[in-house]
Amino acid sequence: MTPEQAAAALVWLVEMGADEIVSEFTIDRFAASIVVEKPKAVAPLFAAPVSRTATLPDQAAADAATQAASCNSLEALSQALNYFEANPLRKGATKLSFIEGNLQSSILVLSDRPRNEEDKSGQVVSAKARVLLQAMLAAIGLNIGDEPAPRNVMLMNFIPWRPPGNRQPLENEIAACLPFAARAIALAGPKLILSLGSLGGQYLGGGDASIIRQRGKWLKVGDIPLLATLHPDELLKAPTQKKLAWRDLQNFKAKMNEVGL
């Protein structure tokens, strides 16, 4: 490089912003220009409310157990449920759908929970599901009816209020219903229970949470045999499953003959 070229290069470097001579060590100007600051804590606009959900399930279940134990008839139990405000499902439901039919029957048909139609009617099973249930029961010589005829069954919902949006009930909601269901069965004293859906068998008989795995297997509620099958509402949605329900009904009929019903 000639002196003239060196001078021109120096002018160019100055014009480009160079203001230091070449050092022995390289300097990363990009890294040096980045300053990492610890983010400052920002106070929330609203203070978070103190959660009491952890204590609600135990308290509601305890209140339910006390209320249920104080009832000495199915009528009193239904009345107590009607005024039991500790269960959050009660506030969102239109009607109580708890018990109907022949209250002296030796056979209890235990549905899992009300749907929209039951919430409107107050029946345990209603509308198209009720028509199908009647056909299912008639196939094994049973009937839905309020009169205490020998073949008329008692109908009961394990969960007596419709969960919002027809969703599955939550654990705390179930815990606040379980004492009433257990007390109703103790007061009614059926000899056999046909469970529609998995909830009754799961929480009263220790069965599987899946109705497909629970169905067809005899469980016991105390000393009372319980057999679960698919709910008529589910059979209306999946008619191909009716063959499974038919096997369950035949199984139930055989047990009826065995115990002399």
- SS3 label, residue 127: helix
Overall fold of domain 57-259: Uracil-DNA Glycosylase, subunit E (3.40.470)
pLDDT along the chain (261 residues), means of 10: 71 56 56 46 36 54 93 96 90 94 97 96 97 97 92 97 93 94 97 97 96 96 97 96 97 97 94
- SS3 label, residue 33: helix
pLDDT at 36: 44
The tokens of 188 are what?
A: 């009614």
Neighbours of 115 (CB within 10 A): 19
State whether the Cα torsion 35-36-38-44 is positive or negative.
Answer: positive
Is residue 110 within 8 A of residue 197, CB to CB? The reply is: no
Is residue 249 within 8 A of residue 217, CB to CB? The reply is: no
pLDDT at 55: 41
E-only strand ranges, 81-157: 99-101, 107-111, 143-144, 152-157
Return d(Cα 142, Cα 136) in angstroms, integer: 9
Return d(Cα 174, Cα 197) in angstroms, integer: 14
pTM (2 d.p.)? 0.78
pLDDT at 198: 96
pLDDT at 58: 75
Q: Which residue is associated with the tokens 């005024």?
A: 83
